[in-house]
Amino acid sequence: MKITTNWLKEHLDTELNENQIIDKLTDIGLEVESVDKQSGELDAFIIAKILKAEKHPDADRLRVCDVDIGSDNPVKVVCGAPNAKEGLLTIYAPPGAVIPKNQMKLVVSKIRGITSSGMLCSESELNLSNESDGITELSTEKYAQKIGENYFPKNNLNIIDISITPNRADCLGIRGIARDLAAAGAGTLKEQKEQKLNKKGKQTVKVKILNEKNQACTAFGTCLITGVKNTESPDWLKEKIISLGQKSISAIVDITNYIMFDLNRPLHAYDVDKVDKEIIVRNSKKGEIFKALDNKEYKLENDMCVISDASGVLGLGGIIGGIRTGTELDTKNVLIESAYFSPRSIRKSSKILNIETDAKFRFERGIDPLSIKQGLEKAAILIKEICGGEISEFDVQKTEDTKNTLLKFKPSLFEKITGFNIEKKEMIQILENLGFELKDNKDWFDLIIPSWRPDISQEVDVVEELVRIKGYDQIKIIEPKKVRIKKTLNSKQKLFHFLQRSIASKGYLEAITWSFTDSKINQLFIEKNKEIKIINPISSDLDVLRTSIFSNLIIHLSKNLGRGFKDMSIFEVGPTFSGTQPGEQQTVASGLRSGKLARQSWIEKERLVDVFDVKRDVIQCLVQAGFDKDKFYIDDETPNYYHPGKSGRLFLNKGKEKVVAFFGDIHPKILKKLDIKTEALVGFEIFLDNIKQPKKSLKDQKTQYKYSDFQKSERDFAFVLDKNFRVQELIDIISNVDKELIKSVKVFDVYEGANIPEDKKSIALNVTIQSLEKTLNEEDLNKINQLIISAVESKTDAKIRS
């Protein structure tokens, strides 16, 4: 919506300057998109006369024109317009001028060998209209004595372009904008002066609205003005029309356009002498054709709202009029239309026919249905003043009456929503300035919504109006409390998210899959659990709830292997299901690794992933989660989908309360059955529900590394003990001999064979011994050695191997 401050001040009594008005518009939600000088670049365009027009020697469609621009010597212009002819008055743009339509800056150029200085302009190029078939033709009577003068009047006005949101159709008229500014304290809204109309006789053109299904017109007002002398608009009217980017056509047409921009009341003028008998507002029939004012023919569909007479369609209601009854300079009798059309119908018809007009833009957003007589009065007064004529009584045909919209509003709601308060007296003042009728009932207001505000339908809309006018800057900034009274996440939730980060930090990519899976694959990982079938699966390969996340991960791993990704590490943290009862669901973190580590690396030798890689991953995750590695207990009892000799299960302590994790190679028979082609496949499962909250907090960072300044010593031991004795127990026995001095115990050899009894095995271990306080001497080391041997022999019946 384009406005000027001069026009705005015709409705608003204000002492604010233009910049203050612009700031206030933005404050109340009417965003100012741009401010452009009305003259500026248009000062260059001057009135000119073609003295001679000859065919270009090298181009059939070009003409070489000698143009009088008011200087001593005519200029030569090469022009492609078909109407360029000797004696034509037109508009000339010299080199350096900027064409408004495409912002092209003109330069002197050669066109097919002939130098052209400047350009003769069409109305389209000057944004005066859509007419682009030829250059502008000016009236000889008016412009013959003005050759060399500026075509556009010079002034210092700025054009303010406001972005109007779809719900604020009332601000598509300058008075609506003035009303909002007045309510915001930017001035006082001027009262519209009542002028008495000397009406003579009834409106004699019969008008009827057909009672049809989906009739889009609910009210159609008309006024007949006879004996008019349609003429060119006076300067004040022409300047207003041109300032908004419109073309001045004639007084009658300019008046209807002026009222549309001034009051947001679209009107249409008919030359009554061209109307056949009566005017009928009806639905169109498919295939009807009419020629519109844009000189285009439109083929109509069923149920489009049209204005017609006995001979056919005169116009599309609320969108565009037709040429057949359009007013011209010789029009003597004019019928002014002021109607209301359904926004939905306007939007639908214009979209089908691809028509954009200023009237359509307003009707589709919803104009004031009670402004019909106001529009007729304003138009009749101006036409009488400029063109003369006799005015008839108004005739308003209706299919339904417009009812007031009532709303109960509690003032207390305002502070509850916005956080700040407005005095009741000020609240009443704002609402009344916005056009609300109000009755104060102490605890609530009975409001009558203004007819021009169809967007207000509930209490929160009224709150929006009040805060918009008072100022959004009044809303206080309240910073959220930085200390949480309650913990955001419980221990299980923290562990869930921690394991996601911890596993990802070890080179795994997270997958998020369905909790459903393929029963054929799920069977491979089900072991003792019952299969839970889905009655109505979303697809045939998602027909059961998964008992192991492996059943999903292995599908996606296989797809990636098939795409050439040999070395994959993927994981998921999510639910698995062992039954349908409460408690028969568990949250599990599962991961799979395939292929090799350090494939084709110059840093280290490549090798296949193995059970010890996933064992390390599991232990590191649990240690980082705050659990003591020295208390872990590991054995080799694992589900049947793990390799029986290359897998293990982990407990948090020797008590074996609940299994915390499984890890190991995936059984070769599963790889064969699923045809998974990989050099190695290992995996792990960590059962979050079996993990008790650790005494230590989750470690997002590594603990400080403790080191000794004193020399360390290493001793090797080899024990012969029972073949079924677990190595982990032997490590625990040695570690517990002296936790301060024994820093690590590592197995470096397991031997069965010659010189070892059949039911025995030899385990060789390396023990690192170091003190934080002194360098250990031989006596100290021998003492530790003896304690280790004694502890192992007494607790395991083992013998030191010589």
| DSSP code string of 167-211 | T-GGGGSHHHHHHHHHHTTS-EEPPPPP----B-S---S-EEE--
**702 within some domain:** no
Domain shared by 533 and 628, yes or no: yes
**What pLDDT score was predicted for residue 341?**
94
Clarify whether residues 644 and 758 are in a common domain: no
Count of structural domains, the chain:
6
Asked if residue 529 belongs to a domain, the reply is yes
CA–CA distance, 351 with 231 (Å, rounded to integer): 35
* Largest separation between any pair of C-alpha atoms in the chain: 135
My answer on whether 349 and 465 are in the same domain is no
List CB contacts of 401: < 8 A, sequence separation 6 or more: none
313: domain CATH number is: 3.50.40.10
Give exposure, 607-618, as e/b (b: 16+ Cβ within 10 Å). Answer: ebbebebbbebb
Are 522 and 562 found together in one domain? Answer: yes
Distance CA 411, CA 26 (A): 25
Question: Rounded to whole angstroms, what are the CA distances from 624 to 255, 435, 518, 657, 744?
Answer: 81, 67, 34, 21, 19
Please report the pLDDT score of residue 431 as a whole number. 93
Is 766:716 a contact under the CB 8 Å cutoff? yes
**Looking at the structure, do residues 783 and 719 belong to the same domain, yes or no?**
yes
> Would you tell me how many other CB atoms lie within 10 Å of the CB of residue 326?
21
Task: State residue 126's pLDDT score.
Answer: 81
Question: In 3D, which of 177, 157, 223, 159 has the Cα closest to residue 382?
Answer: 223
Contact 177, 250 (CB under 8 A): no
Please give the helix or strand (H or E) that residue 119 lies within, else none. Answer: strand 119-120
Q: What CATH number did the domain enclosing 455 receive?
A: 3.30.56.10
738 vs 6: CA distance, rounded Å? 96
Residue 703: which residues within 8 A CB-CB, separation 6 or more? none
Q: What angle do CA 247, 256, 226 make, to 5 degrees?
A: 120
Whole-number pLDDT of residue 40: 60
Instruction: For residues 149 and 142, give the distance between their C-alpha atoms in angstroms, rounded to a whole number.
Output: 12
Residue 34: which domain range? 2-39+157-189
Question: What is the structure's pLDDT at 473?
Answer: 85
pLDDT at res. 591:
96
The verdict on 623 and 657 lying in the same domain is yes
Neighbours of 550 (CB within 10 A): 29
Q: Do 255 and 357 fall into the same domain?
A: yes
Q: Which of 474, 500, 522 is the last residue of a domain?
A: 474
pLDDT of residue 705: 62
**Can you give the pLDDT at residue 129?**
64
Query: Which of 349, 375, 398 delimits the end of a domain?
Result: 398
Task: Give the pLDDT of residue 504.
Answer: 95
Question: For residues 688 and 621, is the Cβ–Cβ distance under 8 A?
Answer: no
Give the closest residue to 278 by CA, choosing from 322, 359, 335, 225. 335
- Tell whether 573 and 720 lie within a shared domain: no
Of 367, 398, 429, the domain-final residue: 398
- 151 is a domain residue: no
Q: Are strands 207-209 and 279-283 parallel, antiparallel or unpaired?
A: parallel
Residue 96 lies in a domain: yes
Question: What CATH number has the domain bearing residue 788?
Answer: 3.30.70.380
In a domain, 482, yes or no: no
CA distance 552 to 519: 11
User: Do 377 and 261 share a structural domain?
Assistant: yes
**Helix H or strand E segment including 75:** strand 75-79
Residues 601 and 499 in one domain: yes
Give residue 702's pLDDT.
55
* C-alpha to C-alpha distance for 379 and 364, rounded to whole angstroms: 22
Q: Are residues 647 and 532 in the same domain?
A: yes
pTM of the model: 0.58
Give the contacts of 580 (CB within 8 A, at least 6 positions apart).
532
d(CA 475, CA 473): 5
Same domain, 25 and 48: no
pLDDT of residue 765: 93
What tokens does 301 get? 């569909």
Token pair in block for residue 219: 């009210």
CATH number at residue 554: 3.30.930.10
Mean pLDDT per 10-residue run, the chain (802 residues)? 90 92 92 78 86 91 92 92 92 90 88 92 78 84 87 75 91 94 92 84 92 92 94 87 81 94 95 93 93 92 93 93 92 95 93 93 93 94 94 93 90 90 91 92 91 92 92 82 76 89 94 93 84 90 93 94 92 91 88 90 89 95 88 90 94 86 95 93 95 63 69 92 88 90 91 89 93 91 93 90 77
CB-based contact 317:281 (threshold 8 Å) = yes
